[in-house]
Amino acid sequence: MSLNNNYLLEINGLPEFSKIRPEDVKDAVLTLIEQSKKCIEETLDRVEKSGEYTYENLVRPLDLADDRLNLAWSPVSHLNSVMNTEQMRAAHDECLPALSEYGAYVGQNKRLYEAYKKMMSNPAYEKLTRAQKQDVENTMRDFRLAGIALSEKDQAEYLKLVTRLSELSSIFSNNVLDAVNGWFYQVTDEKELSGLPQSALALAKENAKQRQLDGWVFTLDFPSYLPVMQYADSSELRRICYEAYVTRASDQGPDAGKWDNGPVLREILDLRYRLAKLLGFDNYPEYSLAEKMAESPKQVMDFLLDLANRARKQGEEEDRELRKFAEQNYGCSELKAWDRTYYSEKYKLHLYNFSSEELRVYFPLNKVLEGLFETCNRLFGITVRPHEGAVELYHKDVTFYDVFDAENSFRGSFYLDPYARTSKRSGAWMDDAVDRMIMPDGKVRHPVAYVVCNFNPPIDGKPSLLTHDDVTTIFHEFGHTLNLLLTTVDVHGVSGINGVAWDAVELPSQFMENWCWQSEALKFISSNVETGESLPEDKLKLLLDSKNYHSALFILRQLMFALSDFRLHLEYDPVLGDRVRKVIDEVRDLVCVDKIPEFNRFEDSFLHIFSGGYAAGYYSYLWAELLSSDAFSRFEEEGIFNRETGLDFLHKILEIGGSIPSMEQFKNFRGREPRIDALLRHKGIVG
């Protein structure tokens, strides 16, 4: 093992990405894992010898060791997502078994578990802060979920299961990335491009240029795919792209079987079932909910089915109106799956006299960011500024910002990576680069976030222009960022987003989306790229009027994902055999008002569930939307830019991290438990 000049062993804060070499990753991770294990053993020897079991002499040393490992692993994991190469992928994946083994080593360490129990029985424990106690309680829960009570044989089985699950998660993600990168469609006849806006044509032209091809090239990256579905007059072009998109990494479609995730997800379901059973749960959702706000699988299913019942009738009416419009105005007697988005956009234009595409000119990325930061300033008193000084960035399109509070005190920083590109995972997300914590010298280390999107890049000297949906996306991800950066909790395990119940982690993000629909905010979020004028009153009114366009259909679509996820995990039983298609078909019959093609394999690219942290938890988006709608209703009552209300949200939600249970945080802010009324009202759902 060569450790000479291994930069990953030297990182102390912001990473210098150019110094991170794939060949160093495994050696660094293995070394840091061994150092962490050594720290645990030496710490236990010391506290056992002294007989003093305190938070400072037991927990703090282990936090610092784990933080050292995370400082090395976080940029590696991030680069694997945003600058994926064959070498970095191999280096990343090679470390997953060792990281799983280390997690099991900690979670099943009986000496450490007993030391924690003794610390909790020490009279000094009662003097700990609320955050420290919550951190300890979470750790004790994690011991149980890691199988601390299992026999040695079963603990070995646990390690085998979690190691394989980690490997499969990476395989699933890699297959989706390869499937997206591996497909494109070239058009050389301009007649096929009728209806497509100039922004989509420019991107397609650039895609062709990068591949040294003539004409136009369309890919499965969302900024390329979505405009085809919305605006391409050619039903055949829409069909080709739709089929490729919904069969990514599956046994269907143009690349059938090439990167097939079907066997991968079925093995994941089986291993999750076995893991839950091993730990004494009846099913995987019971195991998953141990870390969430929801108390039982029944509570989740009741919530989802109640919402489906409320939205179904309105969804059917919205579908009937769309079909009637398509037939009467375009002679479309049968609405195919690849036609729905196209005619939905046409119908929206018919009803509101504007299209999503024509609003791009009012939302250049730089102006949207200014508006986002102004919104945060008015609500929470924070200021966002470009960082002064040198910070190494991993790509030319990435920028770096600092965040200051109302007293001009520094609170944290974030990288912004806004544009789609090859070798970058699809979607949008926020991740932590550095967590807030107290360092050995007694100083606070401020947090740092990665904010990642996949917007249209600037082309031909023109700035990146966003759709209004893109605007809500950046507001959403910045809500997560605020949760990480504005925490005042210094306890590592519950600072920022650490320790926050997974079905409440979307509260701040969905909460921030509300300001994208407020006329007062839109006036300074928008600015015509040519004239500088904000969104005119007539277009502003039309946009706001369109807010709940097909809202029931949107909720039903979310319910299809949430119910498919939850039921696949809840009802999995190896005795019954493969029921994936059966369960998904039953969910579709319940919540889908349209006919979905037999070849659709959305589950094979369902990254949230099979490669992210949302297994048996996709319901969290709807659950958190209920929370965010109810929280925002207080602003509707007291003023959408009421600083006092904003500071209350800052102090009782954003700054708290995971130091207080999420339901208690919500009740502290709202003065009561959450209600569904605001969600239904905001979505325009009647009944």
Active site residues: 477
Question: Dihedral through CA 164, CA 167, CA 171, CA 173, nearest 10?
Answer: 120
Q: How far apart are CA 64 and CA 440, in angstroms?
A: 8
CA-closest candidate to residue 512, choices 476, 555, 544, 471: 476
Distances 314 to 183, 307, 311, 552 between C-alpha atoms, Å:
37, 12, 6, 6
Sole residue written with tokens 């196209």:
342
Sole residue written with tokens 């579908």:
319
Strand partners for 480? none
Contact 489, 496 (CB under 8 A): yes
Contact 36, 28 (CB under 8 A): no
Q: How far apart are CA 255 and CA 259, in angstroms?
A: 8
Q: How far apart are CA 582 and CA 586, in angstroms?
A: 6
Q: What are phi and psi of 430, to 5 degrees?
A: -120, 140
Q: How far apart are CA 90 and CA 80, in angstroms?
A: 9
Give me the half-sphere count of Cα atoms (radius 13 Å) on the Cβ side of residue 87: 6
Q: How far apart are CA 326 and CA 131, in angstroms?
A: 57
- Burial (0-12, 13-18, 19+ Cβ within 10 Å), 214: exposed
Which residues have C-beta within 8 Å of that of residue 517, sequence separation ≥ 6? 544, 547
Amino acid letter at 671? Answer: G
Q: What is the separation of C-alpha 89 from the centre of its chain, rounded to a whole number of angstroms?
A: 21
